[in-house]
């Protein structure tokens, strides 16, 4: 969804959160949108997306950020979820190697359902758990380079890089979209 209203020159971008269950997708979004963190959050039910605004080039840019509503537990994220997405954050947990090993699978699914120009960021969440880290920054950087994604480590718990991650994706989408006719 790359929507541009001629009069106001505002933009609305759909961005999706994907990745294995319990990597922290919902907490990243609640930290970004409401500055909230939940230590014992259950799989997401309810709210499907949050809209956040930011300003770039004097224009109001709205990011409609979609959370999976727990669908990923059943490996059944629907095509409706991906429809119209111009950006994606693929999240894994740096303390659980298996969640990193599945990044390729999420990437494949995303690419089946979206435009080739979709902006993708690889997000290694829970970087506060460095003492039990199972995924090095080096291997994640390498994967990101090979797959033409940007890469960032975050902690929804202590708020490290959370705003940075979402805003970088939105800025990159704006850069891509503002260069091509809508």
Instruction: Determine the interface stretch with ligand GDP among 4-12, 47-55, 100-108, 120-128 (rule: CB under 6 A).
Output: 120-128
The H-or-E segment that residue 174 falls in is: helix 162-179
Determine the 3-state secondary structure of 144 from DSSP: helix
**44 contributes a contact to Mg ion by CB under 5 A:** yes
Q: Which two tokens stand for residue 106?
A: 């999420």
Query: Per-residue string for binding with ligand GDP, 21-60, x by CB under 6 A?
Result: xxxxxxx----------xxxx-xx----------------
Determine the 3-state secondary structure of 21 from DSSP: coil
Whole-angstrom distance, CA of residue 113 vs CA of residue 138:
29
**Alpha helices (H) along 44-87:** 79-82
Residue 102 contact among Mg ion, ligand GDP, none, beta carbon within 5 to 8 Å by kind: none
Number of residue whose CB is nearest ligand GDP: 24
Tell me the Cα Rg of the chain: 16
Q: How many residues does the chain have?
A: 182
Instruction: Determine the interface stretch with Mg ion among 22-30, 92-100, 121-129, 172-180 (rule: CB under 5 A).
Output: 22-30
**27 contributes a contact to Mg ion by CB under 5 A:** no
Residues in contact with ligand GDP by the rule CB under 6 A: 21-27, 38-41, 43-44, 125-126, 128-129, 155-157
């Amino acid at each position: 969804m790359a929507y541009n209203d001629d009069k106001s020159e505002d933009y609305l971008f759909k961005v999706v959160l994907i990745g294995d269950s319990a990597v922290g997708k919902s907490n990243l979004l609640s930290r970004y949108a409401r500055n909230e963190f939940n230590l014992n959050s259950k799989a997401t039910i309810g709210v499907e997306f949050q809209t956040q605004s930011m300003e770039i080039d004097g224009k109001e840019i709205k990011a409609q950020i979609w959370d999976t509503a727990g669908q990923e537990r059943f490996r059944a994220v629907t095509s409706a979820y991906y429809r119209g997405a111009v950006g994606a954050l693929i999240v894994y947990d740096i303390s659980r190697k298996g969640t990193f090993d599945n990044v390729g699978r999420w990437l494949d699914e995303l690419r089946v359902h979206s435009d080739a120009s979709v902006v993708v960021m690889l997000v290694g969440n829970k970087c506060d758990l460095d003492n039990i880290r199972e995924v090095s920054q080096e291997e994640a950087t390498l994967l990101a380079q090979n797959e033409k994604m940007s890469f960032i480590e975050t902690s929804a718990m202590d708020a490290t890089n959370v705003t940075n991650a979402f805003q970088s994706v939105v800025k990159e989408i704006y850069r891509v979209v503002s260069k091509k006719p809508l």
